[in-house]
Chain A
C-alpha cells in the first residue's frame, strides 16, 4: 500500500527531560522519526521541553517548540500549527500519556488532528491492565492473575486472592515509578499507598508474583496490511522481579528452544493484532516458568521503547524510522533495508554475534537510597557490547561501564570510584554474600563472581538467584579461565591461552591484574603475537547480503570487515553510559562534531558504547565502532583506521570525562588530538598550574590549595579559612564534592569520602557564601579570536552544583561592569590556554569581586541549551574551528546574543529514592534538564518549572520556614506573595519575624512540635507552595520530611531564597502575562535580525 497523501503536517511529541526510565533513547527515536517524516516530504512540528536533544535542533523540524509537555501547552501549539496528524509513539510514555489526554479533552477532535502510529483504543488496551488482561483472555493467552484497586481497602480485599509476594504497579507511570514488591503485609501497605498516590489516576494493579521466572522481550512491528515481523528477541539474565531496565539483558534470547521461541513469536503476533497496533513497533514482555516452559505475557508497550532502541542498535534495524514510515501508510515490504539496500524491511534480522546490555546505577550519589532492585527502575544509564560469544560481550560490557579500577568482576582491590561498595564486598561473610545473591541489588553480579570464586556450586547460586544455569556456566568458565591464567602467570602463558582469554573478552588491563604485570606489557606481548582485534559488520542478515553500512564491532578473529578508507578522517570519542553529571549533553556535542565535520568533507568515525544515543545511530557518522571507550579498544580502532592511510585525527573534548581521560595516553601513543592540546586541558585541571596561570593573568580566584592527606587538608583549610569546598580532582558532576564548615567535618570527609593520593589530590577552595554564580561558554580559534556564546546566570546562589542550578540567559541581576569583567577574563583565559574549540568557565561574584571558580577547556553541559537559545550551533562551530577553520570564516565575529529570555531547569530523580533528602548541594544529582523560553524572565522561569514537572500555583497558601540568616531576606518574598493574593503560614520563628515586619502570618507546627503539623497541612492540600531553606543539622530531619512530603504531593518546594524570588517573579508573570508558545525558528529569526548591522536600518532613501 502506498504512502497516504492526505497528511501534510505532522506533530511529533518528544519525551521531555532525561529521567530514570526515559533517557536519550527517545531522542534517538524522535530524531529518526523526524528525519524519516521529512524525507517523505512532510512538514514536521516538534515539541519537546529538553534542549539537550538532537531532535530539537532547528534543522530537524520545520517548527521546533521547546515548551513544557502539558496538555494546555501542546494544545496551544496545535491551535497555532494545525497539524493533520499527531505521532505519539516515538516520545516514550510521556508522549503517549499526553496524546491520550489531548484526545480525552477533545483537543484532537476540535482541531481535526488524527492520531497516527497507535490509536487511543490500542493505547488503552495496552496500558490499562484490566483491559489488557481481558484482551489476552479473549485470545487465550495467560497473564498473571491481577486486580485493579483504587483504595487501600480494595487493596486489602484483593490481597486475599492474590497472596504474597504481590507486585504493585501504579497505572500510567513510567519506568514503574511507585511500584514494588510486597513480601508481607507491612511492605504491602507502604508500597500500595505510595503507588496509589503516584498514579495520575490513583489506581494500582496488584499482580500475582512470577518472581524468579525467566524474562523475555520481543520487539515486533506490524503494518496496516497485517504483516508482522520480530526484530529482535531479548532475554533478561536477571529473572522476573527486577525491572528490565535494571537487568543485564542479552540479545538474541539464548536459553529458549526453537519451539518455545516460536510459540512466543506466535503469541506476540496474536497480541499485537488483538491490541490493535496497526502501524508501528511494540515491545512485548513474557515470563516463562523455568520448570515447565509455561508462558505468560507480562505487558506490552504500544510504542517505541527503551528496548526498541537496544534492539535497533543490536540488529541494525532502525525501528523508529520504520515505525514512522509505517504510520504514513507504507507496508513493510515497501520499505528498503538501509543496510543491505536491496532487501525490504519485511524480514527478521538474523545476528551472528551476541549483544549484552548492562545498566549503570548512580547510588553513590544517593547514599541513603535503597540499592535493592525491584520492579521500579533505578539505573540512570546503560552500556551495550557486541562480541562473537556471550562471554566476550559480557566482559566487554562490564569494562564499558567505566566503574574504575582494573579487574572489575575479578577484582580484589576493586574500583576507586566506588570504594565503599568494594570494601563492603570484599569483607562479606558467607551469609552476607548469600543475601546479596538472593536479594537483587546493583552489586549482585560482583557477588555472583565472588561466590563462584569461593567455590559455591552453580546449583546453590541458581537456587539463590534463579539465574539460568546456562549463564552461570558461562560465568564459571570465565572464572576457570582467569584461574588458569593466574596459575601459569605471565612467563608461562602460551599464545593459545592468551588468544583464548582475549576471545573470551578479557581486557589487557584485566589480564595485567590477573598475571601481575602492567597493561603495557600485556599489550606488547599481545601485539608481538599478532593478537589484534578484527572488526565485523552489523549487517542485519548474518552476512547473507552485502552490507553497505560500516557499523562495526571488534572481536578476536581473523577476517576483518572494517575496510578503512584512505581519506582524512576524524575519530570522535563518545561519552559512554549516561550517568549523573555526564549525560545526553555530551552525546549531543559529539553528534554535532560528527555532523559539522562530515559536512566539511571529513570522514567521520564514532566510538561509543551507549545504545540509547543518537551518536550510535548508523547514519550519524560515516563509520561507527560500537566498542568500549578504554585505551585498549580505542587504540586498536585507531590503528586499524590508520592502516589504510590518510590522516587520522581524534576529538576528545566533546564526550565529557570519558574521552578526556584517554587524551594524554592517546597523545603519547602518537595520536593527533584535534583542538585544544591535552596539556592545556591538564593545566586547567591541575590546581597548582592553573592557580599560577590566573596569578600571572591577574585574575582573582578564591583562595585554594591541594592536599594529598588529611594533615595537609587541615593545613590548607586553616590557612584559607572555613567554609571550604572540597572535591577530588578529575571528576565530573561534583562527585564526592562537599562544603565543609569545620575541622571535624573536614577530617570526616578526608577519611571516608575520598582516597586522596599524590597523583589524585583533593582540591580545597574557599567557599564564597551567597555569591552569584555564572557559567560562560565560548568558542576560541587558533588565531586567538574568542566568541562568547553566552553568559548564564545561576538562579540559586553559590554552593549548588552548576548542573543542579537553574540558570538564565541573558543574566538578569548582574551589573554591566561585572559582565564586562567576565567577558574580559574569559577572553584572556581562553587565549592563555590557547583554546581551540569550546571552553566553559564558571565565575562567582561576591562583594564586587569577580572570581574564577573553574575553567574547562572542553564541551560543557550547557552547550546544547545555549545553542538552542542563541540559534548558533556552538558545538558545530567549535568542531570546525578544531579542524582548522577560523571563527571569522564562519561569520562569527561578535559575542552571541539572544532574542528573549531562556531558563534552564534541572530535573531530579528523588521520587524514585524514598528516604533521600531532596536538598541540593555541590554534588550533582539531577538527571536531565528542560528549557523555558519567553519574552520575560518571569514567564520563562514559570515555563521551565512547568516543564520540569512543577506547576507553580497562581494563588493559595504559601508555607515559609527559613534559616535565621535568611529571615531578613525572606520578608520581601513574603510581602510579594501576599500582594499576589497568597495566604501565608510559617513555623513559629519565621512567623514571628514576618509578623514583626507587619505581615499577616498564621503559625503552623513543625513536624516534631505536635499535630496537625505542616506535613499534615501539605497532605491535606492546604499548602500550595513551600519555601524552606535548610536550617542546619539539628532540624535536618524535620526539614527533610517537609521537603519529601511536598515532593510526593507535587507541591513546589523551593529551598533557596534566590529560587523563591524567581518563583515569585514567575507567579507574577502567570498573573499578568499567561503562557504563550513560540517556536525556536521564530526566536532565532529575531536573533539574526538583531545581529544585522544597524547601519542598514539607518540607510536613508528607502521610503517604507
Chain B
C-alpha cells in the first residue's frame, strides 16, 4: 500500500526505515522556505514547522533523499527505491502557505490508482 508521510510522518517513516533524527539548532518555521526537488532541480516555496531533521548519513542504501532545504541543506524529502513510500519534512497541505508542492498529492493519488 502506498505511504506518504508529512512532517512528523516523514520523521517516523525515516525512523521506521532505519534512519535517525537530530535536533536542529534553529527549527524551520514559516511559509517561505525554499526546497529543491533534486530530480528536476526545481525550487518550491514551502510551509515549514519543525525542530528536528533526518540525518541523511543514517539512512539505508535503498532510501534516497529527494528534497533538500536550500537554507541549510537539511533533508526535506525521501523516497524508498523499491517500496511505494515517500515523505516530506515540510507541509504541502498547509494553509496558510503556498501551493507549490501540490504535485505530491497528485503523485500519491497516482500511486494509489496504479495499485487499485
List the interface of chain A (C-beta within 8 A of B): 225-230, 258-259, 261-262, 265-266, 331-333, 342-344, 346-350, 541-542, 544-545
Contact = CB atoms under 8 A, between A and B. Distances in A.
B72 to A, nearest CB: 8
A332 B45 CA distance: 12
Contacts of A229: 34, 43, 45
Contacts of A259: 95
B36 A333 contact: yes
Question: Chain B interface secondary structure, helix, strand, loop or mixed?
Answer: strand
**8 closest A-B pairs by CB:** A258-B96, A348-B32, A227-B43, A346-B43, A347-B34, A346-B34, A344-B70, A350-B32
B98 A347 contact: no
A226 B97 CA distance: 20
B95 A258 contact: yes
B42 interface: yes
Interface in B61-101: 70-71, 95-100
A265 B99 CA distance: 9
Contacts, number: 61
> In this complex, which of A266, A343, A347, A541 has the most chain B Cβ atoms within 10 angstroms of its Cβ?
A347
Contacts of B2: none
Nearest to B30: A350
Nearest to A258: B96
B42 A544 contact: no
Given A346-B43, A542-B30, A544-B30, A333 B70 contact: yes
Contacts of B31: 348, 350
Interface residues of B, number: 20
Interface in B26-76: 26, 29-34, 36, 41-43, 45, 70-71
B34 A266 contact: no
Given A262-B99, A333-B70, A349 B32 contact: yes
B33 A347 contact: yes
Contacts of A261: 96
A228 B101 CA distance: 13
A258 to B, nearest CB: 3
A736 B33 CA distance: 54
Given A227-B43, A258-B97, A347-B32, 11 more contacts: A229-B34, A331-B41, A331-B43, A333-B36, A333-B43, A343-B34, A343-B70, A344-B71, A346-B34, A349-B32, A350-B30
A343 B100 CA distance: 19
A545 B95 CA distance: 24
Nearest to B71: A343
B7 to A, nearest CB: 18
B86 to A, nearest CB: 22
9 contacts: A226-B42, A229-B43, A262-B97, A262-B99, A332-B43, A333-B70, A346-B70, A347-B71, A350-B30
Nearest to B36: A333
Nearest to A544: B30
Nearest to B28: A544
Contact of A262 (B26, B32, B33, B98): B98
Nearest to A227: B43
Contacts of A262: 95-99
Nearest to B102: A266
A284 to B, nearest CB: 16
A265 B98 contact: yes
Nearest to A263: B99
A1032 B29 CA distance: 71
B115 to A, nearest CB: 30
A332 B36 CA distance: 11
B50 to A, nearest CB: 14
A989 B8 CA distance: 92
- Most chain B beta carbons < 10 A, residue from A331, A332, A343, A542: A343
A331 B99 CA distance: 21
A262 B33 CA distance: 15
Contacts of A227: 42-43
A230 B41 CA distance: 19
Contact of B41 (A225, A258, A348): A225
B48 to A, nearest CB: 11
